[in-house]
Chains A and B, each alone.
Chain A
């Protein structure tokens, strides 16, 4: 069934890494397979943050094929060579796990072309590119993933996250949420539900040059919105369009560098509880997610069917 959570601080930064971890941990019973974070960090905004993986987590519960860890180093070398060829200058690099990396880099050309070249290397997937987006996803619950990637102290303005119960595709990082809104920097999506016109939409979008990295139906939302934005729609317009363009049941969150949005399908089949105040919006699949960071008595509500909302930082 999956659990999703999101929050946005308006007019200030906060410890969003720790806050989102608490919210997602409270939703662990909705999705124990993998956890993902899209954190919008308080970075200086000068350089791009590139997060990518060169293999899968093959630990307990994974559906991925085991690989010799030596292939990770070979693939990383190929990525570095490709970055050099593309004219990207690496400022800082961190190896977070044997298979995932975080690079800070200078780059000023087309991101779509950049992404295509990097992902042409076998088993290399860009998790995100952005100037504030830090997208992390891996197998395990929120606490495990947070500790593995050191997210507890990460400060920022807003964040969305996902606790996944795998139903439509494998237990692996490539099918985990959030999904990056390729090829837009700083766009991420999490989803709870099922999309029934995934393949029809995928064929259409692939013919338009859009890229899918998994067979997870939720990835369609990120690609769908990215394609709308590529054609000039605002985020909110794309989200409103998705209510009729996507078939199935869904509640999803989408975040950009300076905004956070939610959309709920016209049958309101998937849950969402929302808290909104002047300086904070927090939302999740269950109220206990919000309570994990706001234990005092608060007023919350369920958005109605077909509702789309977008908040700015």
Chain B
């Protein structure tokens, strides 16, 4: 009698879209059948030619018009696009999912270059809050300063600011590398989960507060350590990697990386490393 009741409950749950099986590790991943490969299409991507170059003046466009125009130019095969007069407008250059040389001749407002996957971007100016949020791949170089939440939820790629950045740089960072040539504000690396942050200058209070994982390197003074953040010894592999990264970032010539302070998470979350052991604390 008890068994019959169980079956009825299970059937009812499944008819409502619920599942009773326990999902484990990689069983949650969906693998594409090779037969389906030709049907696979990464929406919104284009094959572009880097030698095909054009200028786009966005002075009299709002961000939606400007982003639509960039998309249109990529669809025509333009691989190098120079944006003139961005004038601090918000949300420019977002959602670009293919290779592209994108150059901004001026400053951006909030949420610039967010959710990108692949382009190389250079901003010959400043950026506002949440630049390159959720960036997945590519390289972004900011020639001047950046606002708060620089590289929020960054997932991959290199995000470089040659000037100083505001508070909460790399908040919720999940991968990739953030490089800052100047100083950084409070709560740098707040709730950081993966990836690396390099700050050549000073950082504010609560560095690495509530970080789960990842590594922060600081060249200057540290205002204070946040909860869960601890100092870790620098290794030769740290030094080699930092030198390589600064070279790629075109920043910090002759900077002595061996004197930087390395900061990692001081706690171990339950089962965290077992889920995706791509990066180990204290070792690269």
Q: Which of B161-169, B227-235, B238-246, B260-268 contacts A (4 or more CB under 8 A)?
A: B161-169
Min CB distance B244 to A, Å, is 29
How many chain A residues sit at the interface, stated as a range, is 20 to 34
B167 CB contact (under 8 Å) in A268, A286, A299? A268
With contact pairs A268-B167, A291-B88, A297-B125 given, residues A302 and B148 touching in the complex (Cβ less than 8 Å): yes
Do B147 and A271 touch across chains, with their CB atoms under 8 A apart?
A: yes
Q: Which of A269, A290, A291 has most chain B Cβ within 10 Å?
A: A291
Sample (9) of A-B pairs whose CB atoms are under 8 Å apart = A267-B167, A273-B147, A287-B109, A297-B125, A299-B126, A299-B144, A304-B167, A304-B186, A305-B204
> Which of B89, B144, B146, B185 gathers most chain A CB within 10 Å?
B185
The contact string, 1 if C-beta is below 8 Å from chain B, for chain A 271-313, is 1010000000000001110110001010111101110000000
Confirm or deny: B48 has a beta carbon within 8 angstroms of a beta carbon on chain A.
no
Q: How far is the CB of A297 from chain B (nearest CB, A)?
A: 6
Tell me which residues across on chain B come within 8 A of A302, comparing CB atoms: 145-148, 165-167, 185
Give every chain B residue within 8 A of A273 (Cβ-Cβ).
128, 147
Q: Is B193 an interface residue (CB 8 A)?
A: no
Docked pose: A288 CA to B167 CA in angstroms = 20
Q: Which of A267, A271, A288, A306 contacts B87 (CB 8 A)?
A: A288
Using A267-B167, A287-B128, A297-B106 as known contacts, list a sample of 16 further A-B pairs with CB atoms less than 8 Å apart, ordered by residue number in A.
Answer: A267-B187, A268-B167, A268-B185, A268-B204, A273-B147, A287-B88, A287-B107, A288-B89, A288-B109, A291-B88, A299-B145, A300-B126, A301-B163, A302-B145, A302-B167, A305-B186
Asked if B163 and A271 make an inter-chain contact with CB atoms under 8 angstroms apart, the answer reads no
Are the CB atoms of B186 and A290 closer together than 8 Å?
A: no
Which of A268, A286, A304 sits near B109, CB closer than 8 Å?
A: A286
Residue among B106, B165, B167 with most chain A CB within 10 A: B167
- CA A267 – CA B166 in complex, angstroms? 11
B148 lies within 8 A of A290 (CB): no
Chain A interface (Cβ within 8 Å of chain B)? 266-269, 271, 273, 286-288, 290-291, 295, 297, 299-302, 304-306
Q: How far is the CA of A270 from the CA of B185 in the complex (A)?
A: 13
Determine whether the beta carbon of B125 is less than 8 Å from that of A271.
no
B46 at the interface (CB under 8 A from A): no
Interface residues on B, range: 20 to 34
Given contacts A271-B148, A273-B147, A286-B110, contact A305 B167 (CB under 8 A): yes
Contacts of B73 in A (CB 8 A): none
Q: How far is the CA of A268 from the CA of B163 in the complex (A)?
A: 18
Q: Within the complex, what minimum Cβ distance (angstroms) separates A250 from chain B? A: 14
A288 to B109, CA, bound (A): 7
Q: Which residues of B contact A (CB under 8 A)?
A: 87-90, 106-107, 109-110, 125-126, 128-129, 144-148, 163-168, 183, 185-187, 204-205
Contact status A297-B204, CB under 8 Å? no
B186 proximity list for chain A (CB < 8 A): 266-268, 304-306
Q: How far is the CA of A301 from the CA of B164 in the complex (A)?
A: 8
Q: List B contacts of A306 (CB < 8 A).
A: 186
Residues of A within 8 Å of B165, CB to CB, are 302
Whether the pair B185, A305 counts as a contact (CB closer than 8 A) is yes
Q: A302-B185, A304-B167 are in contact. Are A271 and B129 (CB under 8 A)?
A: yes
Closest 9 CB pairs of A and B: A287-B88, A268-B167, A302-B166, A305-B186, A301-B145, A291-B88, A288-B88, A302-B147, A304-B185
**Distance of A269 Cα from B146 Cα, bound (Å):** 15
Which residue from chain B places its CB closest to the CB of A299 in the assembled complex?
B144
With both chains docked as a complex, state the minimum distance between the C-beta of B97 and any C-beta of chain A, in angstroms: 27
Residues of B within 8 A of A291 (CB): 87-88
Chain A: CB-nearest residue to B145: A301
- State how many angstroms separate the Cβ of A272 from the closest Cβ of chain B: 9
Distance from A292 Cβ to chain B, minimum over Cβ atoms (Å): 9
Are B88 and A286 in contact (CB-based, < 8 A)? yes
How many angstroms between the C-alpha atoms of A184 and B185 in the bound complex?
34
Q: Please name all residues of chain A whose beta carbon is closer than 8 Å to the beta carbon of B147 when the two chains form the complex.
A: 271, 273, 302
- Complex alpha-carbon distance, A33 and B187, angstroms: 33
Per the bound structure, the CA–CA distance linking A247 and B204 in Å amounts to 19
Provide the residues of chain A in CB contact with B163, threshold 8 Å.
301
Asked if B145 and A266 make an inter-chain contact with CB atoms under 8 angstroms apart, the answer reads no
Q: How far is the CA of A299 from the CA of B125 in the complex (A)?
A: 8
Residues of B within 8 A of A269 (CB): 167
Closest Cβ of chain B: how far from A23's Cβ, in Å? 12
Alpha-carbon gap, A271 to B145, bound state (A): 14
- A299–B182 CA distance with the chains assembled, in angstroms: 15
Closest residue to B202 on the A side, CB-wise? A304
Q: A268-B166, A273-B147, A286-B128 are in contact. Are A300 and B185 (CB under 8 A)?
A: no
From B128, which residue of chain A is reached at the shortest CB distance? A287
Q: Which B residues touch A287, using CB under 8 A? A: 88, 107, 109, 126, 128
Q: Which of B90, B126, B164, B205 contacts A305 (CB 8 A)?
A: B205
Interface centre among A271, A301, A304 (most CB of B within 10 A): A304
A288–B85 alpha-carbon span in the complex (Å)? 12
Question: Cβ of B166: which chain A residues have Cβ within 8 Å of it?
Answer: 268, 302, 304
| Bound-state Cα–Cα, A305 to B148, Å | 10
Q: Taking A287-B88, A305-B167, A305-B205 as contacts, is the C-beta distance between A268 and B126 under 8 angstroms?
A: no
Please, which residues of chain B bring their CB within 8 A of the CB of A288? Answer: 87-90, 109
CB distance from B220 to the nearest CB of A (A): 13
Q: How far is the CB of B108 from chain A (nearest CB, A)?
A: 8
Closest to A301 in B: B145
Chain A positions within 8 Å of B205 at CB level: 266, 305
